[in-house]
Chain A
Amino acid sequence: MTIEAFIGQALSGISVGMVLFLIAAGLSIIFGTLKVLNLAHGTIYMVGGFLCYILTSKLAHIPGAFWWALLFAPIAVALIGGVIEVLLLRRIYSQEMLYQYILTFALILILGDTCKFFFGVGYQTVSVPWPVNGNIALWGLSFPTYNLFLIGCGIVVFLGLSALMRYTSLGSIVRAVTHNRETANALGINVPRVYTGVFMLGSYLAGLAGTLMPPMSVVALGSDMAVIIECFIIVVIGGLGSLPGAFLGAIILGLLNAFGIYIIPKLALAFPFMLMIVILIIRPWGLLGKPE
């Protein structure tokens, strides 16, 4: 492998990893605060993808349609998330884990078929928007600009979220609820509203990822199933509920996906799961998580 191919492969792996980070971060935040493992999170991402496609194709006559989609699609997805939380999830927090799984699984079916109804079963594509299309020359090598743009987005969201959690009063409220729900409640924090907000934030991130992905890949039914599994791997590697963990896990998974195929092609698909099993057995709280 030439050095150019090597770096190119690494960059494309990391850029896909960054999109997955956005989704996994949402999954992880929701799990950390609500203690719900949302199986439908990948489907929420897919809804974002379809919204991106429909907005860019309907607004094709407006310059910068993609950027409008990038602005509005995630907000729409967050609103859908809010409705889901208020109408459904809120009623099962006190229930056993199993009911959460099954309810969120039902959401996969419902949202998936709703997408099928509105957007059809075909593969939809979105072209790479100006000005991040084309290639960029770095150190005499040429890379797709969009990959670098995605990596930038991932880093910005990671830093922004970390700052939000660490330095704002909103962040400390969320952390308080995550840490001890009863005490937070006794201190006058409106816990249900925090739950709704966190679920909407997580959905927003999934919607953002859904909007960013189509120019690089295709929008299609079933992409949710592949994505949610990858997100499970990421959050397990990094640690369930840990934001830096999700960031690290996404980079590791991105590189593993990009290079696994060169090491032992036959096992490329199995590598991530093997890593997941090893982590779950020796360090179930993940690389950057804290033991319970």
Chain B
Amino acid sequence: MILVSLVLLIVPFVFSRSMVSLINEMLIMALAGCALNLMLGYGGMVSFGPAGLYAVGAYATAILLTRYGAPFIVAVLAAPVVAAIVGAIVGWFCVRRSAVYFALLTLAFAQIIWTIIFEWYDFTNGDNGIVSIPIPEVLYVGSNIYYFSLAIVAVCIFVLWRIVNSPFGATLQAIRENPMRTEFIAVPVRRYQLAAFVISSFFLGIAGSLFCVFAGSVFPDYAHWVKSTDMLVVCLLGGIYNFAGPIVGSGVYILISKVISKNTTYWMFFLGIIIVFLVLYMRNGMVGFAAEKIFRFRNKLGAGNGEGKS
């Protein structure tokens, strides 16, 4: 943990500018992944629409800054609130259905968000997106924007970590394992799922807002369902049953897509092959796979020393 944070702190001194912005992207994707994974891995709710809420966060910041000239802090802080409100409305409908119907509902809502962004020229600038968003100059000094993202992502991921390890997180996992039984012990299942949906939306909104600050522009594509599948892949790559899964997944995913796309235009092909391999042979993702290996290795070691009896 400490090692990782140290490495992340000295990144701007060691790596080139482009590498730093790549890591910045990874951080934001890691946050989005963790936010999604609260639903996916802990709640067992497969959402196809995280990008919709991510885009709501990004556009909230962008519109407040460009249209209303709001102070930067206000624009950034408003993003998660707006995303959470939208998430509450969308989630209220979605948690009424489960499995494939839940997934299709989230997909439909995200596509509606995309349509609104795409069509409402007067407010969102439509498919032109919003460019040259006035970001405070101070963030462009040195690597300030990187530290800005790092600080916010670190705090958010810590909060998410506390949430999944709280009684709330445990209840959520119980719902994932068996919703009916959980209902029988007097847990209001839907209310918990809605809460997970709103919390997830809140953090997706932060991730969107951070990306808006980082990129200085927003586009309707942020809400598109392909972006949602990106986030799902990030979670799966790392492993959805480990908290660190999406964080590792984000790093690997962005690295893979950038490295392969630099060498060939057919990077999606190779990404697809990697995903197929992952689904067929490493179902718990990379972190899950590593954890299992370490566990086995420890057991072996323990048995060798005559300590591990079980």
Contact = CB atoms under 8 A, between A and B. Distances in A.
A187 interface: no
Interface in B251-275: 265-269, 271-273, 275
A99 B283 contact: yes
B275 A240 contact: no
Contact of B100 (A103, A112, A240): A240
B119 A103 contact: no
Contacts of B232: 98, 101-102, 105
A280 B229 contact: no
A269 B115 contact: yes
A193 interface: no
Contacts of A236: 104, 108
B275 A105 contact: yes
B42 to A, nearest CB: 13
B183 to A, nearest CB: 18
Interface string A185-196: 000000000000
Contact of A113 (B109, B120, B268): B268
B96 interface: yes
Chain A, interface SS category:
helix
A60 interface: no
B303 interface: no
A168 to B, nearest CB: 29
Given A240-B100, A276-B108, A110 B273 contact: yes
A106 B283 contact: no
A274 B7 CA distance: 47
A266 B120 contact: yes
Given A97-B99, A116-B265, A116-B266, A270 B104 contact: no
Nearest to B110: A273
A98 B40 contact: yes
A112 to B, nearest CB: 6
Nearest to B90: A277
Interface stretch (A6-14, A88-96, A138-146, A249-257): A88-96
A110 B283 contact: no
A281 interface: yes
A240 B97 CA distance: 14
A102 B279 contact: yes
B107 interface: yes
Contacts of A112: 268
A117 interface: yes
Contact of A109 (B109, B265, B269): B269
B100 A97 contact: yes
A210 interface: no
B275 A109 contact: yes
A22 B108 CA distance: 22
B225 interface: yes
A114 interface: yes
Interface in A64-118: 88, 91-92, 95, 97-99, 101-103, 105-110, 112-114, 116-117
B225 A88 contact: no
Contacts of B115: 267, 269-270, 273
Interface in B217-264: 225-226, 229, 232-233, 236, 240
B271 A273 contact: no
B108 A273 contact: yes
Contacts of B116: 270
A233 B115 CA distance: 15
B269 A98 contact: no
A91 B280 CA distance: 7
B15 interface: no
A236 B106 CA distance: 13
B46 A269 contact: no
A109 B272 contact: yes
B105 interface: yes
A115 B304 CA distance: 53
Interface string B84-112: 00000000010011011101110111011
Interface in B44-98: 46, 93, 96-97
B243 to A, nearest CB: 17
Contacts of B226: 225
Nearest to B240: A98
B112 A37 contact: no
A102 B236 contact: yes
Given A37-B100, A102-B236, A117-B266, A97 B108 contact: no
A98 B112 contact: no
A280 B273 CA distance: 33
A105 B234 CA distance: 13
A275 to B, nearest CB: 9
5 contacts: A92-B279, A102-B275, A105-B275, A109-B269, A114-B269
Interface of A: 37, 88, 91-92, 95, 97-99, 101-103, 105-110, 112-114, 116-117, 225, 229, 232-233, 236, 240, 266-267, 269-270, 273-274, 276-277, 280-281, 284
Given A107-B272, A270-B119, 11 more contacts: A97-B100, A101-B46, A101-B232, A106-B272, A106-B275, A109-B275, A113-B269, A113-B272, A116-B266, A269-B115, A280-B105
In the A-B complex, the 7 residue pairs with the smallest Cβ-Cβ separation, listed nearest first, are A109-B272, A113-B269, A110-B272, A106-B275, A109-B268, A270-B115, A106-B272
